[in-house]
Amino acid sequence: MDSIKVVGGSALNGVIPISGAKNAALPLMIASLLTDETLTLSNVPRLRDVALLTQILQNHGVDYSVNGKRNGQDDLEGQTLHLTAREIVDTTAPYELVSKMRASFWVVGPLLARMREARVSLPGGCAIGTRPVDFFIDGLKALGADIEIEAGYVVVKAPKGLIGNRVVFPKVSVGATHTIMMAATLAEGETEIVNAACEPEVVDLANCLKAMGAQIEGAGTPTIRIQGVKRLHGAHHAVVADRIETGTYAMAVAMTGGDVLLQGARADLLESAIEILRQTGADITETPEGLRVYRNGNGIQPVDITTAPFPGFPTDLQAQFMALMTRAGGRSCITETIFENRFMHVQELARLGAQIHIDGRTAIVDGVNTLRGAPVMATDLRASVSLVIAGLAAEGETHVSRVYHLDRGFERLEDKLTRCGAQIERISG
Catalytic residue positions, numbered: 126
400 is in an annotated binding site: no
Q: Give the integer Cα–Cα distance in Å for 343 and 380.
A: 10
> 3-state class of 242 per DSSP?
coil
32 is in an annotated binding site: no
Q: Give the integer Cα–Cα distance in Å for 187 and 35.
A: 14
403 is in an annotated binding site: no
Buried-exposed string 84-97: b where 16+ CB fall within 10 A, e elsewhere: bbeebeebbbebeb
Q: Give the integer Cα–Cα distance in Å for 191 and 385.
A: 39
| Number of residues in the chain | 429
Q: Return the closest-CA partner of residue 199 out of 225, 181, 173.
A: 173
338 is in an annotated binding site: yes
Pinpoint the alpha helices (H) of 171-238. Answer: 174-184, 200-211
**Omega of the bond prior to 123 within 30 degrees of 0, cis?**
no
Tally Cβ neighbours within 10 Å of residue 232: 25
316 is in an annotated binding site: yes
173 is in an annotated binding site: yes
What does residue 390 show for φ and ψ, rounded to 5 degrees?
-60, -40
Handedness of CA 124, 127, 129, 135 (dihedral sign): negative
- What angle separates helix 22-30 from helix 174-184, to the nearest 10 degrees? 30
Q: Give the integer Cα–Cα distance in Å for 179 and 175.
A: 6
DSSP state of 397: E
What does residue 105 show for φ and ψ, rounded to 5 degrees?
-60, -25
DSSP state of 396: S
H-helix or E-strand spanning residue 413:
helix 413-419
174 is in an annotated binding site: yes
172 is in an annotated binding site: yes
22 is in an annotated binding site: yes
Q: Give the integer Cα–Cα distance in Å for 336 and 319.
A: 10
Q: Which residues have a Cβ under 8 Å from the Cβ of 67 and sit 6 or more positions away?
A: 79, 80, 82
Which residues are annotated as part of the binding site for UDP-N-acetyl-alpha-D-glucosamine?
A: 102, 171-174, 316, 338
User: Binding site for phosphoenolpyruvate, residues?
Assistant: 22-23
Binding residues: 22-23, 102, 171-174, 316, 338
